[in-house]
Amino acid sequence: MTETEELREWDRRYFWHPFTQMQCYGDDDPWIIERAEGNYVYDTEGHRCLDAIASLWCNIHGHRHPRLDAALIAQIGKVAHSTALGASNPPAIHLAKALVEITPASLQHCFFSEDGSEAVEVAIKMAAQYWCNLGRPEKHLFLTLDNAYHGDTVGAVSVGGFPLFHAVYGHLLFPTLRLPSPYVLQWEDCEGDPLQATTAWLATLESTLQDQGSEIAALILEGGVQGAAGILPFPPGILAGAQRLCRAYEVLLIIDEVATGFGRSGKLFSCEWESVEPDLLALGKGLSGGYLPLAATLAAEHVYAAFLAPFGETRQFYYGHTYTANPLACAVALENLALFAEGAVLAALPGKIAQLRAGLQRFHGRSWAGEVRQFGMMAAIALRDPRTNAPYPYADRVEYAVCRRAREMGVYSRPLGDLLTIVPPLSVTAAEIDIILNTLYDAMAEGRS
């Protein structure tokens, strides 16, 4: 038995994988990534694949970036971890300051956590306690969207809208109010007209706030696109209009930029496109450049101030985990921000986004392709059965077979329902964008039978 065969056997036997039906996992030889370099990952047998999903939408500058590696090595020579409960560390202090300086001006304080779901969980709890601290506990409801995805912890699932993932946990969740998905509203009710869709959605939001604003703690929205729902972009004006109405009706605005933050939209933060300054902002994924688990929730001054009081009044935010503000993760994140500050990463994005948009055109009208959607450096292509013009049966796992074929051809992707996604590192080159598009085109075309 080779080392790879032994690892595969142990992988099947001991490792329970996320979002994975383990009974099927053994049907194929598990793919084991041993190392990576630049925009490529390598398995234990030396097979190289272009990382078309940025290791689940988090890698920014490529793998083994020399400056990020050096930041990690330098910090590990000092301290790997120390608690942030009643103590601090230099990388976390510098990173909190840096994040306040680069995020929208409303945000003045930074609370660290370990992943995007937790960053949202923090925002939810801050919003709930904010109103309690102000003596208004009746403002306890959260307003969210159909098709929303904010993570997999209980609070994040409560404000999500993914029955496939989360229906089984319904009895654990707190009740929420829901608005229609702006994208679905645009294309199902407004004949694709973005202005009409934005007007209709904002009217629905205002009606809800008029009726129940006195009970609503916060509205939570993803940063301009519903990512896990299948890359469903908002029509222009949704975020700015939501901010205006939330201010008018005394409702906090939470923006979840876990997926869209750090350049994915074409700007450092998606909020910038409409000059939105939320009360709470959730960040994750790209915060550490895709190196280590790290997330942050940024809060406006008035939110933070509501937690300040004499110690005995117990208004402090009773939340935190063992690895909150881990020095290793914060040190790498600081160097990630330094790379962004130099300007070249963001300056290159318009050309890459335009190239991706142009390359997606060839998928339109194919008998084996459905909708094609893009938001900045995120894209999704629906796989269709040409015999029925409908998605393949979920149980047939055709999308997985297509991704496996693409991997054999040198591109690492994974399905999202009936979609194939393209969310590469921002360091992807023009030639590599073409490789991704051509490979997925060929793999999908082969899979049509």
Which letter, b or e, does each residue of 199-232 get, where b requires 16 or more Cβ atoms within 10 Å of its Cβ?
ebbbeebbebbeeebeebbbbbbbbbbbbbbbbb
Whether residue 322 is annotated as binding a ligand: the answer is yes
Whether residue 285 is annotated as binding a ligand: the answer is yes
Closest CA to 148 of 159, 135, 137: 159
Whether residue 69 is annotated as binding a ligand: the answer is no
Distance between CA 134 and CA 65 in Å, rounded?
46
Instruction: State the helix-helix crossing angle for 344-360 and 430-446, rounded to 10 degrees.
Output: 30
Which letter, b or e, does each residue of 132-145 get, where b requires 16 or more Cβ atoms within 10 Å of its Cβ?
ebeeeeebebbbbb
Instruction: State the helix-helix crossing angle for 66-76 and 327-341, rounded to 10 degrees.
Output: 150
Whether residue 204 is annotated as binding a ligand: the answer is no
Whether residue 149 is annotated as binding a ligand: the answer is yes
Whether residue 320 is annotated as binding a ligand: the answer is yes
Whether residue 385 is annotated as binding a ligand: the answer is no
Whether residue 116 is annotated as binding a ligand: the answer is yes
Whether residue 321 is annotated as binding a ligand: the answer is yes
Which residues are annotated binding-site positions for substrate?
149, 285, 320, 414
Which residues are annotated binding-site positions for pyridoxal 5'-phosphate?
116-117, 256, 321-322
Which residues are annotated binding-site positions?
116-117, 149, 256, 285, 320-322, 414
